[in-house]
Amino acid sequence: MKTESVLEKVLTSGQLAVTSECGPPRGALPDKVREKAAMLKGYVDGINVTDNQTAMVRMSSLAACIIIREMGLDPILQMVTRDRNRLAMQSDIIGAYAFGINTMLCLSGDHPKFGDHPMAANVYDLDSVQLIQTVKQMREEGIFQGGDKILNPPQMFIGAAANPFADPFELRVARLAKKINAGVDFVQTQCIYNLDKFEKWMEGICDRGLDKKVYIMPGITPMKSAGMARYMKNRVPGMDVPDEVVKRMAGVPKEKQAQEGVDIAVESIERLKNVKGVHGFHIMAIEWEQIVPEIVKRSGLYPRPEL
Amino acid sequence: MITAERKPLEEIIECIRPYDRILLVGCNECVTVCAAGGRKEVGLLASALRMAFMKEGRTLEITELTLERQCDPEYVEELVTMIDAADAVLSMACGCGVQEVARRYKNKPVYPAVNTKFMGASVSQGVWAERCQGCGDCILGLTGGICPVARCSKRLLNGPCGGSTSGKCEISDDVECAWQLIWDRMKELGIQDRYEEVMVAKDWRTSRDGGPRKIVREDLA
């Protein structure tokens, strides 16, 4: 074991891990964080806390992680390199670890153009791969990116994102290999709706033996409506929603579409469970955290292991 | 070259409104090539300003001059004979030229008539695109001759991000994904295997982050 992370314990035990996510509120509402996290209690091994997702200002991931940690749960600190330079990021990592947060996800983040502060400077002192490298160096060598020694270095279990559907597709396996070279421990993917293409990506990964070097957790997002399916298909960069999924959502009456979305999510998990190299699932129910327990239960992933 | 675009006429008018005599100075270098502040643009702006002031019932006296190179003290010196006859200077050079005029003529207000944009190349007639950010430590040799610092919207050194779609950047269909270009070029050159080498965190001291930069060439100084 590299860290004290519960997620690491579950993954190394060989059991399928489950994570979910919680987007912090757009204001100082700690109870909102508690309410969302409480819905996930007992159903997941880690709760991702997003970092100014879609480039909109929200309560900081670190603050929300601390709130969740104080509930006795296991937050996963998401960190984008868009908003802060290496000084700020490393100090936040130390701060997080000081509060018992031991798992994080290194991301580049959406461009400010998509958010509510398109006029903001985008920092990108580091990119996501370099952030992985930095956190690994902090953990393994006990030194800062700048080279100085850290007192009680943070032992973070290091995650990253992967999007099997972005272009160029032929580069997507190599890109994961690069993150592995940088030192990533686990990977959560973009929402998977095109299962065939995901499986093709996984094949490429297994062919190179990369599945032995990193834990891969496909992302699962239940869709609430046919409208959401169309929006994800047409508007979200790097998202691959096949026509048949949109058709299936649109093929049921409006009031039953949410249920259909959950069914699709459960069926996807059932199918992907058997794919070589899949080590768990990252269930991102966007502003719909209360549905996660049902998905976890119906997918046979409940109860979560006690380790 | 350094590219620039002329400021909106209204903004320029507001700057020079308090004055009656303007020295309008163009530059024969980059801003001429990108058609923002050369001799031709100086003439056009002078006419537009005269007309605008005439409509307000005022007469604006404009002296037009285009220097060989406005960022060079030697050429900026040429203004010495006419500077006293002007209340203010309106410069159509890039920010470097504007500052050189301000440095040389300490008691004369200088206003920029263009917005300096970027270091770029000509893509086609009338189209220029950013190519270099002057980071001070060129990595083009590692990236197939395409700069991710200048051309990736997130300046990722280990791209592409998850937003690359059909060769385009997630921010706009008008923006090419730099990492798609880099990858294509790496394949072209047969050096794809280099892609998986991690590019380590960049030392930005050589860039603007290290403070204002200066080159001193002992052999020439």
The count of C-alpha atoms lying within 13 angstroms of the C-alpha of A72, restricted to the half-sphere facing its C-beta, is 3
Summarize pLDDT for A256-272 with one digit per residue, the tens.
Answer: 999 999 999 999 999 99
Angle (CA) B155 B161 B166, round 5°: 110
Do both B107 and B202 map to the same domain? no
Contact between chains at B154 and A108 (C-beta distance less than 8 A):
yes
Residues of B in contact with A163 (CB under 8 A): 162
Residue B148 inside a domain? The answer is yes
Q: Do A124 and B165 touch (CB under 8 A)?
A: no
**Distance in angstroms (rounded) separating the CA atoms of residues A24 and B53:** 55
Query: How far is the C-alpha of B177 from the C-alpha of B89, rounded, in Å?
Result: 41
In order, the DSSP letters of A93-158 are HHHHHHTT--EEEEE----GGGSS-TTSPP--SS-HHHHHHHHHHHHHT-B-TTSPBPSS---PEE
In a domain, B126, yes or no: no
pLDDT of res. A236: 85
Average per-residue pLDDT for chain A: 97
Cβ separation of A177 and B154 shorter than 8 Å?
Answer: no
Residue A174: its chain B contacts at CB < 8 A? 192, 195-196
User: Which residue does chain B place closest to A108, by CA atoms?
Assistant: B161
Residue A269 to residue A280: CA distance in whole angstroms: 9
For B209, name the nearest residue in chain A, comparing CA atoms only. A125
A133 near B CB under 8 A: yes
- My answer on whether B74 and B147 are in the same domain is no
Residues B171 and B107 in one domain: no
Select the residue from A130, A131, A179, A239 to test the B interface by mutation, using most B Cβ atoms within 10 A: A130
Contact B154 A111 (CB under 8 A): yes
The answer for A 238-297 residues in CB contact with B (under 8 A) is 238
Q: How confident is the model at residue A14 (pLDDT cuts 50, 70, 90)?
A: very high
**Strands, sheet with B2-6, edge to edge from the N-terminal-most edge strand:** B2-6, B114-124, B127-132
Q: B-chain residues within 8 Å CB-CB of A114?
A: 170-171
Domain boundary at B94, B118, B142, which?
Answer: B118
Return the structure tokens found at A137.
């160096």
Q: Which domain holds residue B155?
A: 134-209
Backbone angles phi, psi at A197, to 5 degrees: -70, -40
* One domain for residues B154 and B179: yes
Residues of B in contact with A82 (CB under 8 A): 154
Instruction: Provide the pLDDT for residue A307.
Output: 82
Q: Comparing C-alpha atoms, which of A186, A86, B181 is closest to residue A176?
A: A186
Answer whether residue B159 is part of any domain.
yes
Residues B32 and B85 in one domain: yes
CATH code of residue B21: 3.40.50.2300
Phi/psi of residue A277, nearest 5 degrees: 95, -10
**B65 & B145 share domain:** no
Contact status of A108 with chain B (Cβ, < 8 Å): yes
pLDDT tens for residues A196-253?
Answer: 999 999 999 999 999 999 999 999 999 999 999 999 999 887 899 999 999 999 999 9
Q: Does A167 contact B at CB distance below 8 Å?
A: yes
Token couple for B76: 């900026």
Decide: helix, strand or coil at residue B127. Answer: strand
* B20/B82 same-domain check: yes
In this structure, the number of other CB atoms found within 10 A of the CB of residue A56 comes to 15
HSE-CB at B1 with a 13 A cutoff on CA atoms is 18
Q: For A6-298, give the CATH class.
A: alpha beta
* Number of domains making up chain B: 2
Task: Identify which of B154, B195, B200 has the shortest CB distance to residue A122.
Answer: B154
Residue A81: CB atoms within 10 Å: 26
If asked whether residues B97 and B169 sit together in one domain, one would say no
Tens-place pLDDT, residues B112-133:
999 999 999 999 999 999 999 9
- Whether A167 sits inside 8 A of B180 (CB atoms) is yes
Q: What is the mean pLDDT of residues A19-41?
A: 98
Summarize chain A as % helix, strand, coil (round to 5): 45, 15, 40
- The pLDDT of residue A238: 80
In a domain, B216, yes or no: no
Q: How far is CA B199 from CA A143, A184, A189, B139, B159, in A?
A: 19, 15, 23, 10, 10
Residue B219 has a CB neighbour count (10 Å cut-off) of 4
How many angstroms separate the Cα of A245 from the Cα of each of A163, A249, B108?
A: 19, 6, 68
Do B162 and B85 fall into the same domain? Answer: no
pLDDT digits (tens, 9 = 90+) for A105-136: 999 999 999 999 999 999 999 999 999 999 99
Q: Tell me if A102 sits within 8 A of A156, measured CB to CB.
A: yes
- DSSP states along A201-229: HHHHHHHTTGGGTSEEEEEE-----HHHH
- pLDDT score recorded for residue B190: 95
Note whether A275 and A199 are within 8 A (CB).
yes
CA atoms of A68 and A39, how far apart (whole Å): 12
Residue B15 lies in a domain: yes
Would the CB atoms of B180 and A134 count as touching at under 8 Å?
no
- B34 close to B128: Cβ distance less than 8 angstroms: yes
For chain B, positions 126-185, list CB contacts with chain A under 8 A: 153-167, 170-171, 177, 180, 183
How is residue A307 written in tokens? 């380790």
Q: Which residues of chain B have pLDDT under 50?
A: none
Q: Residue A14, SS3?
A: coil
For an interface test with B, give the residue of A80, A86, A87, A127 to mutate (most B CBs within 10 A). Answer: A127
- Please give the helix or strand (H or E) that residue A46 lies within, else none: strand A46-49
Give the model confidence (pLDDT) of A176-197 as tens digits.
Answer: 999 999 999 999 999 999 999 9
Same domain, yes or no, for B66 and B114? Answer: yes
Which residue in chain B is spatially nearest to A189 when comparing CA positions? B162
pLDDT greater than 80 at residue A95: yes
Whether residue B10 sits in one domain with residue B114: yes
Amino acid in the structure at residue B104 = R
Indicate the domain borders of chain A.
6-298
Residues 177-216 of B with CB under 8 A from A: 177, 180, 183, 192, 195-201, 204
Element spanning B169, H or E: strand B168-169
Using the 3D structure, point to which of B89, B118, B147 is the last residue of a domain: B118
A175 touches chain B (CB under 8 A): yes
Nearest chain A residue (CA) to B196: A178
A201: left (phi over 0), alpha (psi -120 to 50) or beta: alpha
